[in-house]
Amino acid sequence: MSYVPSTPAQRQEMLRAVGLSSWRELYRDVPADMLLEGELDLPSGMSELEVGRAVSEMAEKNTRFSTILRGAGAYDHYIPALVKSIPAKEEFLTAYTPYQAEMSQGVLQSIFEYQTMICELTGMDVSNASVYDGATAAAEAAAMCRDRKCRVTLISGAAHPDVINTVRTYCYGTGDELRVVPVKDGRTDMDALREMLTAEIASFYVQQPNFFGLLEDCDALGELTHAAGALFVMGCNPISLGVLKTPRDCGADVAVGEGQPLGLPLGYGGPYLGFMATTNKHMRKLPGRIVGETVDAKGERCYVLSLQAREQHIRREKASSNICSNEALCALTASVYLAVMGPQGLKEAAEQCMAKSHYLMRGLTALPGVELVYTGPFFHEFVTSLPRQAEVLAALEQNGILGGLPVEGGVLWCATEKQSRAELDKAIAVVEEVLAK
């Protein structure tokens, strides 16, 4: 099976029509000794029925948990039915990048609507059409903040380890320096940051809520950063923005984040969605595709890929980023999610995340030896100490519950609007049972 529709007879006819008598002649420019002799060491092709069976068997080898209390950068939220069905539509699914505006208005308008929603969510002026994920969004933000004079990037040590490592990798690429601001009591160490904000600093990145689930004092961090003449970048959880102060109101120059919570499945880590927004002042430094409104030759409103002179296909080695493909379908998914939820639904989801995670925290910390490792307000994740950690997590897993993630100093738990009180009670009871043994 190779999805080739032409029949063998047609293929022969076509070969003759181009003046050739054999397949070999199609590859006459390939040196003969380089051609593969014999067949690839791959299994024989399969029928659709067999393929379906083979791949489903692989899926069955994963454990399916009925309750997931683990976050750490990938969150188990409820995905409304419409959010699954819209992006699966054949046209949205199988289009390429909308280079030809005259036959791509649907994609272009959906991106324009996505950009607007991201601006509304973050309070920023301009959003791009998405980047690969939250980690690359942070790395791209660091790159757009650097200029000839200020080359060094600061990142909070309380950011997600994969984000820190990705930003470090991008900095390694251009040969620029990344400095990690130490953590104190689970939050960015403000005094250390003050010391580290020297003249060569281009930007400082903080994650809100941070990797340990805690809320950072972003107003103060932003003020410090600006006072030193550097730009302030915030990595935000988009669901939390249903209730949390916007990055704009915290003074951010660039707001980025991982868009996975907006209707994308966990999917073993991808595809996810990097969102990225900034102020009008920095609009032209924003990397990636951007859709703009204009009019057509008849004066009708329409949409096009805009500000393209920033991009690699025009600027080549002078472009600040090489990105072209992004995560358009994931951006569409996020838009449908935000539209389905609406302003009230998003707020409700965020409030329930807070309520459920605090309920879980209270239940767990009532057990002997389980204590909050850090104090202070949190959104939907928190770290506790946990005696007999491996045993407890294994018992939860046997009960169909994926417990928190072991991190330095304890376990990082997460609860969202998706878990019912009964599910949380069950998890707490399993932990209690192990600890009572």
Partner 1 sequence: MNYPVELQYSRDHEWLRMEDGIAVIGISDFAQSELGDVVFVNLPEVGDDTTAGEPFGDVESVKAVSDLVCPVTGTVCEINEELLDAPEKLNEDPYGTWIIKVENVTDTEDLLTAEQYEAECTH
Partner 2 sequence: MKLIFEKSVPGRHCDLLPKCDVDPVELPEGFRRETVPALPELSEVDLARHYTELNHRVHGVNCGFYPLGSCTMKYNPRIDEDMAALPGFTGVHPLAGEKHTAGCREVLDTAAKYLCEITGMEGMTFQPAAGAHGEFTGVLLIKQYHASRGDTKRRKIIVPDSAHGTNPATAAMCGYEVVNIPSAPDGCVDLEALKAVLGEDTAGLMLTNPNTVGLFDENILEITRLVHEAGGLCYYDGANLNAVMGVVRPGDMGFDCIHMNLHKTFATPHGGGGPGACAVGCKAFLKEFLPHSALMDEPGHLQVRAFAGNFLVVVRALTYLLTLGREGIPEAAKNAVLNANYLMRRIQGSFEPAFDRICMHEFVLDLSEYKKETGVSALNVAKSLIDYGMHPPTMYFPMIVHEALMLEPTETESKETLDWAAEIFRELYELGKKDPDFMHNAPHQAQIARPDEVRAARQPVLRWQKG
Binding residues vs partner 1 (CB under 8 A): 284, 307-309, 314-315, 318
Of partner 2, partner 1, none, which one sits near residue 12, judging by CB under 5 to 8 A according to partner kind? none
- For residue 285, the minimal CB distance to partner 2 (Å) is 13
The single-letter code of the amino acid at 400 is: G
Interacting residues of 52 by C-beta distance below 8 A, sequence separation 6+: none
Q: Which of 148, 195, 317, 398 binds partner 2 (CB under 8 A)?
A: 317
- Of residues 121-140, which lie at the interface with partner 2 (CB under 8 A)? 121, 123, 125-127, 129-130, 132-136
* 220 vs 216: CA distance, rounded Å: 9
Determine the size of the site formed for partner 2 (CB under 8 A): 200
- Of residues 22-41, which lie at the interface with partner 2 (CB under 8 A)? 23, 25-31, 34-36, 39-41
Q: Return the number of the residue (99 or 268) whose C-beta is nearest partner 1.
A: 99
- For residue 137, the minimal CB distance to partner 1 (Å) is 24
Element of type H or E holding 365: helix 328-365
SS3 415: coil
Question: Looking at 144-152, 223-231, 237-245, 426-434, which segment touches partner 2 (CB under 8 A)?
Answer: 237-245
Long-range contacts of 366-375 (CB under 8 A, 24+ apart): 367/428, 367/431, 367/432, 367/435, 368/435, 369/435, 370/431, 370/435, 373/186, 373/212, 373/409, 373/410, 374/185, 374/186, 374/187, 374/212, 374/214, 375/185
Q: Return the number of the residue (79 or 283) whose C-beta is nearest partner 1.
A: 283
- Of residues 66-85, which lie at the interface with partner 2 (CB under 8 A)? 68, 70, 72-74, 76, 78, 80, 82
Using CB atoms within 10 Å of the CB of residue 265, give its burial: 0 to 12 exposed, 13 to 18 middle, 19+ buried.
Answer: middle
Any contact of residue 198 with partner 2 (CB under 8 A)?
no
Of partner 1, partner 2, none, which one sits near residue 430, judging by CB under 5 to 8 A according to partner kind? none
Q: Which of 187, 282, 289, 426 binds partner 2 (CB under 8 A)?
A: 289
Q: Which of 57, 13, 70, 115 shows the shortest CA–CA distance to 338?
A: 115
Q: Which of 141, 144, 153, 160 binds partner 2 (CB under 8 A)?
A: 160
